[in-house]
């Protein structure tokens, strides 16, 4: 994985190339991390799916067509996991707020505590002396990718063996992962820490690492913490209550419209743009919102290329905006005399936070912010209220709803 060509065409090329391996070959080989340049048993599609240059429904359709529901079962489940996490965070947005506020506190502690700062820097620079952990830190920074199994091992070692604040580790991932999104990243780290499935942390195990790195690494068992409990004591009140899904305001085709393209969904052409009175269009870069710390150039370049490709496919001349001053959104729409901004649904995370800050300026100028939510999300998110098992049970029904017959 490298910061490759961020276009729909390239994503579809990768999809077609990997489709023959989405069945038993994937199920049997997906857990092994062969290292940089050798991730052949996994698809490499995640940066494209994360921005919807490739749709989840298209990936699942390809898997089922090539292998049938039985052999493609594991691949389909893994695609739906990302949607489950997004839906779970939509139902508990308080968890994102807690992460965001907690990260600010952790960064303040880092400023004050030189010992902690030194240890965190060593971990991020791949200088801990644990060759496997250091190799993953280097791979992440150099390529913008880590195998899913390596992500779990890395997070577990960061939290339990190195004893570092979990939010700082999650932030390190989010700043560098090409496929990073607020839900999968935050909840993945919480899962390892025993906060998502409460009281069930994920322990990095020496034999497991040796087996599923195909012998590339052989940790000594004594190097890794013996994990018996997670961090659930740090959240004594437990998980917040499940909330209803946020209601969207649907656009009106007859109103003067400003089309906003973000890397939340780079397939705006799917939404029948020809039926709208579009006065202006803009791409909105927002990767810098992922963290108070600098976000990797590789992530920003991938975002910018994906947005440029989306704008070309939309077929509407567009300007480039950056998510800095929230009032700039209203200024842009007003300049074109638009009374509504339309965009695909923005999920819980940093861009949603920024748009919430933009609401007062939009309201003051009579501009309505409207969103389209895809059927895929509407089919999965109502079930994302607890563990993945509840969604897993519904997969046949979900696919009957959203896949073409």
Residue 261 bridge partners (DSSP): 283
Checking if the pLDDT of 2 tops 50, the result is no
Q: Is residue 366 part of a domain?
A: yes
pLDDT at res. 83: 97
pLDDT at res. 31: 96
Rounded Cα–Cα distance for residues 71 and 43 (Å): 16
Q: In sequence order, which residues have a C-beta less than 8 Å from that of residue 155 and are 6 or more positions away?
A: 166, 169, 170, 173, 188, 189, 192, 193, 202
pLDDT at res. 357: 98
**Beta strands 256-261 and 319-322: pairing type?**
unpaired
Checking if the pLDDT of 1 tops 60, the result is no
Q: Is 199 helix (H, G, I), strand (E, B) or coil?
A: coil
Q: Is residue 190 part of a domain?
A: yes
Mean pLDDT value of segment 371-390? 96
Give the pair of three-digit tokens for residue 381: 């998110």
Mean pLDDT value of segment 161-185? 98
- The CATH number given to whatever domain includes residue 333 is 3.40.50.620
Mean pLDDT of the chain: 96
Element (H, E) at 321: strand 319-322
Residue 368 shares a structural domain with residue 260: yes
Q: Is residue 2 part of a domain?
A: no
Question: Which has the closest alpha carbon to 204: 252, 131, 149, 244?
Answer: 149
- Angstrom distances, CA of residue 190 to CA of 103, 152, 289, 315: 13, 11, 21, 41
**Domain around 346:** 256-373
Total number of domains in the chain: 3
Q: How far is CA 239 from the centre of its chain?
A: 21
pLDDT at res. 4: 67
Q: Is 328 helix (H, G, I), strand (E, B) or coil?
A: helix
pLDDT at res. 221: 83
Cα maximum dimension of the chain: 67
Q: What is the pTM of this model?
A: 0.97
Q: Is residue 40 part of a domain?
A: yes
Q: Where are the alpha helices (DSSP H) in 182-239?
A: 182-193, 206-212
Q: Is residue 244 part of a domain?
A: no
Residue 115 shares a structural domain with residue 145: yes
Residue 217 shares a structural domain with residue 109: yes
pLDDT at res. 404: 79
Rounded Cα–Cα distance for residues 270 and 400 (Å): 20
Give the pair of three-digit tokens for residue 241: 């209550």
Residue 111 shares a structural domain with residue 224: yes
Residue 287 shares a structural domain with residue 316: yes
pLDDT band at 25 (very low <50, low <70, confident <90, very high): very high
pLDDT band at 3 (very low <50, low <70, confident <90, very high): low
DSSP classification of residue 215: T
What confidence tens digit (pLDDT) does each residue in 285-342 have?
999 999 999 999 999 999 999 999 999 999 999 999 999 999 999 999 999 999 999 9
Mean pLDDT value of segment 31-55? 96
- The CATH number given to whatever domain includes residue 215 is 1.10.579.10
Residue 171 has φ and ψ, to the nearest 5°, of -65, -40
Residue 280 bridge partners (DSSP): 258
- Strands of the sheet containing 277-285, edge to edge, are 319-322, 277-285, 256-261, 340-344, 368-372
Q: For the purposes of burial, counting CB atoms within 10 Å of the CB of 299, is it exposed (0-12), middle (13-18) or buried (19 or more)? A: buried
> In which residue are the tokens 């599923």 written?
212
Mean pLDDT value of segment 257-262? 98
Question: Which has the closest alpha carbon to 341: 225, 321, 387?
Answer: 321
């Amino acid at each position: 994985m490298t910061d490759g060509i961020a276009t729909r065409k390239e994503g579809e090329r990768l999809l077609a190339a990997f489709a023959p391996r989405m069945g038993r070959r994937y199920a049997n080989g997906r857990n092994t991390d062969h290292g940089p340049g050798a991730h052949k048993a996994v698809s490499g599609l995640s940066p494209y799916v994360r921005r919807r240059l490739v749709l989840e429904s298209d990936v699942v359709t390809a898997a089922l067509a090539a292998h049938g529901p039985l052999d493609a079962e594991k691949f389909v489940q893994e695609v739906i996991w990302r949607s489950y996490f997004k839906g779970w965070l939509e139902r508990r947005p308080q968890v994102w707020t807690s992460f965001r506020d907690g990260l600010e506190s952790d960064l303040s502690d880092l400023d004050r505590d030189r010992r902690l700062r030194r240890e965190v820097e060593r971990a991020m620079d791949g200088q801990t002396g644990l060759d496997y952990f250091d190799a993953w830190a280097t791979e992440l920074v150099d390529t913008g990718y880590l195998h899913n199994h390596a992500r779990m091992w890395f997070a577990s070692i960061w939290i339990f063996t190195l004893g570092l604040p979990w939010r700082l580790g999650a932030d390190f991932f989010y700043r560098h992962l090409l496929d990073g999104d607020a839900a999968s990243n935050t909840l993945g780290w919480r899962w390892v820490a025993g906060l998502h499935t409460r009281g069930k942390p994920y322990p990095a195990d020496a034999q497991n690492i040796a087996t599923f790195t195909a012998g590339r690494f052989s940790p000594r068992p004594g190097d890794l913490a013996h994990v018996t409990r997670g961090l659930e004591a740090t959240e004594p009140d437990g998980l917040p209550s499940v909330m209803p899904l946020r209601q969207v305001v649907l656009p009106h085709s007859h109103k003067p419209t400003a089309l906003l393209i973000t890397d939340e969904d780079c397939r705006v052409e799917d939404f029948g743009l020809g039926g709208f009175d579009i006065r202006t269009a803009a791409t909105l870069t927002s990767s810098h919102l992922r963290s108070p710390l600098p976000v990797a150039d590789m992530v920003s370049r991938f975002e910018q290329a994906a947005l440029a490709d989306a704008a070309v496919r939309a077929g509407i001349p567009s300007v480039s905006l950056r998510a800095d001053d929230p009032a700039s959104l209203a200024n842009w729409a007003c300049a074109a005399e638009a009374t509504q901004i339309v965009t695909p649904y923005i999920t819980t995370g940093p861009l949603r936070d920024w748009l919430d800050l933009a609401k007062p300026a939009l309201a003051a100028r009579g501009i309505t912010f409207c969103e389209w939510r895809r059927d895929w999300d509407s089919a999965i998110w109502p079930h994302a209220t607890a563990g993945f098992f509840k969604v897993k049970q519904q997969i046949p029904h979900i696919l009957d709803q959203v896949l073409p017959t």
